[in-house]
C-alpha cells in the first residue's frame, strides 16, 4: 500500500468516527479533496510513536499530528498500561506543561482522560519546567507523569513526554507497551475524555520549595558565592518556563546581580523574538548576549521553552563573548565537579555516545568511571536506576545542551545546571580566573577535543524516506577514510556489532539496539551518524583531537582542527 493509500484510509477512518468533532472533519475533507496530497500524507501516513523524547509532532489535524485525539489516545493507552502494571493500586500521575500554543489545554485534556480512568492527577496550575515534573513524580510518589512540550522544536510543534515512577522518561519495555495499548484502541469512543474530575488536584508551591532545598545542598563552594554574590549574570527564558524558576533559584543561592532579558521574559508560544527557541542556535542567544555586553556581565545563560536545556555564553581572553557548545559546557561542569569530589564511594558519571570523549579522558584521570549510553536522558536515568545502591552518581550530560547533577531529577535539568554554571563562574572569579581560562587549561591537561555538528532537515513522509536511504547507504557502504585517515573501527548500534576494520574481528555492543553508526580512525577522529528521535533530521557528529601544549598555541590549533572538521563534513555530505 502506498503512502497516499495509507493516508487516505486513515483520513476516511477519522471521518467515520462519531467521536470526532465536526470542525476537525471539515479539515479532513479539505485534505482529501485537495489536488496536492502532501498535507494529507504528512498528516495521516502513520501514527505518532514514542522516540527519544516521547510523542512529538506538528500541531494539527491527523494521526501524525499533535491534537486532542492523538494526545487523548496516548493518555488512554498510558492509563490502560498503568492499570496493568500496577494492579489493585491507587495510581497517581503528575502533569506539567510549557509555554507553547495549546500546551495548557492539552495538559487539561491529559488530566481529564487520566481522571476519567480513575487515576489521581496532580496538575501544575501554571507552566513549569520539565525537570520539576520529573522531580514531582518521585516527590509525590506517583507511578507516572506527563509534560506537554516540544522542548526546543519550532513553534508549530508540540509534544507529550511520558515518565515512569522513577521520574525518568519511558524506556523499553514500557514505551513499546504503551504504544501497543494505544494501537489497541479500536475507536476514539474508547477514549474517556471526561468524568471523575474530582480526581484532579492542583500542585502547590511546596514541590518547588523541596526542589530548591535539594539544589542548595548539592551546590559546592557556597561561602565563595557570598564573596562573589555581585557577579553580573544575564538570563533569558526565551519566552518559556525558565523564568518561572531559574532567577529564583539563583537568588536563593545568594546571587544578587542577575539581569533577565525582559523582551523574552513573558511566556509566548509564538516565540516572537527568535527564529527558533533553541539555545543551541546562536540567533536564539543574541538578545541575552547584547544585554550581557551592555551590562558587562560575566556569564550568559538561556533556557529552551521547557527549561531542560541551557545555552552558555562566556568571555574569551579578549573580553569578547562567545557561546560554549554543549561539549565544552559539559566538560567544564564535569571538571569542576570532579575536582570538588569528596567522600563518595564508587563515584561515576554518565554521558551519551555522541558526547565528547574529553569527558571520558578526564574521568579516567580522576579515577572515576564514565558510562556511555544511547542518546536520550532516559537511558542515563535507566543506568542510574540499575546502579542505585551500588555506585554513587555524580553527574551526566550530552552534547545537545542537557546536563544533570545529582539524581533527584531523572532528566536533563537546566534549572539546577544554571545554578552550577553560576557557581562555577563565581569560583573562577574568586581564583582570579574565568571559565575560559579553565577551558583552555582543560585542553592543555587532557587534549584539545573539538566537535562539529551537521543537521540535515528532511520534513514529511518523503523526508523520512530520504533519511532512511542515507542511513542505509552509510551502513552498507561505509567510507574507508576520513580526511585521509584510515577508518579502524565501525560501530553499528542497530546490529549491535563493533567491527575492527584492520583485523576483521567483531564484538557485541552491550547497549540496546539503535539506528546509530560510528566511525573511528587511528588518530581518534570520530564520526557519529543518527536520525533524530524528535525532529525530522539526520545528524552528523564530528570529533577531532590534538595536543595543546601552551595557551599561546590555542588559536593556531583551533584553526587547524576547525579546517579538519570542515573537510570531514564535506566528505560526508557530498
pLDDT at position 50 is 67
Mean pLDDT of the chain: 95
Predicted local distance difference test score (pLDDT) of residue 460? 84
Hey, what CATH topology would domain 209-446 get? Answer: Alpha-D-Glucose-1,6-Bisphosphate; Chain A, domain 3 (3.40.120)
Angle between helices 68-85 and 103-116 (to 10 degrees): 40
Could you read off the pLDDT of 276-305 as tens digits, one per residue?
999 999 999 999 999 999 999 999 999 999
Q: Per mean pLDDT, which range of 168-177, 315-324, 390-399, 551-560 is the poorest?
A: 168-177
**Residue 574's pLDDT band (cuts 50, 70, 90):** low
Distance CA 6, CA 24 (A): 19
Residue 282 DSSP SS3:
helix
CATH level 2 (architecture), domain 448-573: 2-Layer Sandwich (3.30)
Instruction: Kindly list the domain boundaries of the chain, sorted by start residue.
Output: 46-204, 209-446, 448-573
Nearest CA-CA partner of 487 in 475, 476, 497, 499: 499
- Could you read off the pLDDT of 113-123 as tens digits, one per residue? 999 999 999 99
Task: Tell me if domain 46-204 and domain 448-573 are identical in fold.
Answer: no
Say yes or no to pLDDT of 492 above 60.
yes
Cβ 306 vs Cβ 149: under 8 Å: yes
**How do residues 319-368 score in pLDDT, each as one tens digit?**
999 999 999 999 999 999 999 998 778 999 999 999 999 999 999 999 99
Distance of CA 200 to the CA centre of its chain: 28
What pLDDT shows up at residue 223? 96
What's the mean pLDDT in 193-201? 96
Query: What pLDDT is attached to residue 517?
Result: 98
3 state SS for 150-172: CCCCCCCEEEEEEEECCCCECCC
99 is catalytic: no
**What is the rounded distance in angstroms from the CA atom of residue 208 to the CA atom of residue 133?**
10
Phi, psi of 97 (to 5 degrees): -150, 160
DSSP state of 255: -
The pLDDT value given to residue 326: 97
CA-based radius of gyration for the chain: 24
308, 293, 317, 471: which is closest to 377 by C-alpha?
A: 308
Give tens-digit pLDDT for 86-107: 999 999 999 999 999 999 999 9
Per-residue burial over 519-533, b = 16 or more CB atoms within 10 Å of its CB, e = otherwise: bbbeeebbbbbbbbb
Q: CB-based burial of residue 508 (10 Å sphere; 0-12 exposed, 13-18 middle, 19+ buried)?
A: exposed
Catalytic residue among 151, 236, 331, 416: 151
**541: confidence class by pLDDT, cuts 50, 70, 90:** very high
> Is the CATH number of domain 46-204 3.40.120.10?
yes
Amino acid at each position: 500500500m502506498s503512502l497516499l493509500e495509507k493516508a487516505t484510509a486513515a483520513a476516511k477512518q477519522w471521518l467515520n468516527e462519531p467521536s470526532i468533532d465536526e470542525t476537525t472533519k471539515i479539515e479532513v475533507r479539505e485534505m482529501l479533496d485537495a489536488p496536492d496530497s502532501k498535507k494529507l500524507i504528512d498528516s495521516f501516513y502513520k501514527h505518532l510513536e514514542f522516540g527519544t523524547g516521547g510523542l512529538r509532532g506538528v500541531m494539527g489535524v491527523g494521526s501524525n499530528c499533535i491534537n486532542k485525539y492523538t494526545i487523548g489516545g496516548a493518555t488512554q493507552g498510558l492509563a490502560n498500561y498503568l492499570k496493568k502494571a500496577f494492579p489493585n493500586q491507587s495510581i497517581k500521575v503528575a502533569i506539567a506543561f510549557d509555554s507553547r500554543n495549546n500546551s495548557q489545554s492539552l495538559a487539561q485534556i491529559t488530566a481529564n482522560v487520566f481522571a476519567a480512568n480513575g487515576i489521581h492527577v496532580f496538575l501544575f496550575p501554571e507552566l513549569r519546567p520539565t525537570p520539576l515534573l520529573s522531580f514531582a513524580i518521585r516527590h509525590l510518589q506517583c507511578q507516572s507523569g506527563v509534560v506537554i512540550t516540544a522542548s526546543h522544536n519550532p513553534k508549530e510543534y508540540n509534544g507529550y513526554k511520558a515518565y515512569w515512577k522513577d521520574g525518568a522518561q519511558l524506556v523499553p519495555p514500557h514505551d513499546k507497551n504503551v504504544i501497543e495499548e494505544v494501537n489497541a484502541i479500536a475507536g476514539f469512543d474508547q477514549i474517556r475524555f471526561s468524568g471523575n474530575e474530582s480526581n484532579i488536584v492542583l500542585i502547590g508551591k511546596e514541590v518547588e520549595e523541596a526542589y530548591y532545598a535539594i539544589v542548595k545542598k548539592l551546590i559546592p563552594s557556597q561561602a565563595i558565592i557570598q564573596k562573589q554574590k555581585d557577579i553580573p549574570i544575564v538570563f533569558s527564558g526565551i519566552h518559556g518556563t525558565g523564568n518561572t524558576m531559574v532567577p529564583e533559584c539563583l537568588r536563593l543561592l545568594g546571587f544578587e546581580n542577575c539581569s533577565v532579558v525582559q523582551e523574552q521574559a513573558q511566556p509566548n508560544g509564538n516565540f516572537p523574538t527568535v527564529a527558533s527557541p533553541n539555545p543551541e542556535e546562536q540567533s536564539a542567544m543574541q538578545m541575552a548576549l547584547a544585554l550581557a555586553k551592555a551590562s558587562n556581565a560575566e556569564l550568559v545563560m538561556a533556557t529552551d521553552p521547557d527549561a531542560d536545556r541551557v545555552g552558555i555564553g562566556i568571555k574569551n581572553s579578549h573580553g569578547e563573548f562567545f557561546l560554549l557548545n554543549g561539549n565544552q559546557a559539559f566538560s567544564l561542569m564535569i571538571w569542576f565537579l570532579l575536582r570538588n569530589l569528596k567522600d563518595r564511594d564508587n563515584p561515576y558519571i554518565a554521558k551519551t555516545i555522541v558526547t565528547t570523549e574529553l569527558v571520558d579522558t578526564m574521568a579516567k584521570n580522576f579515577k572515576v568511571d564514565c558510562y556511555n549510553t544511547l542518546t536520550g536522558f532516559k537511558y542515563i536515568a535507566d543506568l542510574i536506576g540499575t546502579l542505585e545502591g551500588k555506585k554513587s552518581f555524580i553527574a551526566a550530560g550530552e552534547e545537545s545542551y542537557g546536563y544533570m547533577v545529582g539524581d533527584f531529577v531523572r532528566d536533563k535539568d537546566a534549572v539546577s545546571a544554571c545554578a552550577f554554571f553560576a557557581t562555577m563562574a563565581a569560583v573562577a572569579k574568586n581564583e582570579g580566573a574565568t571559565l575560559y581560562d579553565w577551558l583552555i587549561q582543560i585542553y592543555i591537561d587532557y587534549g584539545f577535543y573539538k566537535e562539529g555538528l551537521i543537521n540535515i532537515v528532511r520534513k514529511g513522509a518523503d523526508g523520512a524516506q530520504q533519511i532512511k536511504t542515507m542511513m542505509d547507504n552509510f551502513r552498507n557502504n561505509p567510507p574507508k577514510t576520513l580526511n585521509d585517515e584510515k577508518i579502524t573501527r565501525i560501530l553499528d548500534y542497530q546490529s549491535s556489532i563493533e567491527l575492527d576494520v584492520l583485523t576483521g574481528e567483531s564484538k557485541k555492543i552491550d547497549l540496546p539496539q539503535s539506528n546509530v553508526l560510528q566511525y573511528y580512525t587511528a588518530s581518534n577522529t570520530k564520526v557519529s551518524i543518527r536520525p533524530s528521535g524528535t525532529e525530522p533530521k539526520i545528524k552528523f557528529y564530528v570529533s577531532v583531537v590534538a595536543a595543546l601544549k601552551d595557551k599561546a598555541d590555542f588559536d593556531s590549533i583551533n584553526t587547524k582542527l576547525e579546517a579538519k572538521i570542515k573537510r570531514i563534513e564535506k566528505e560526508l555530505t557530498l
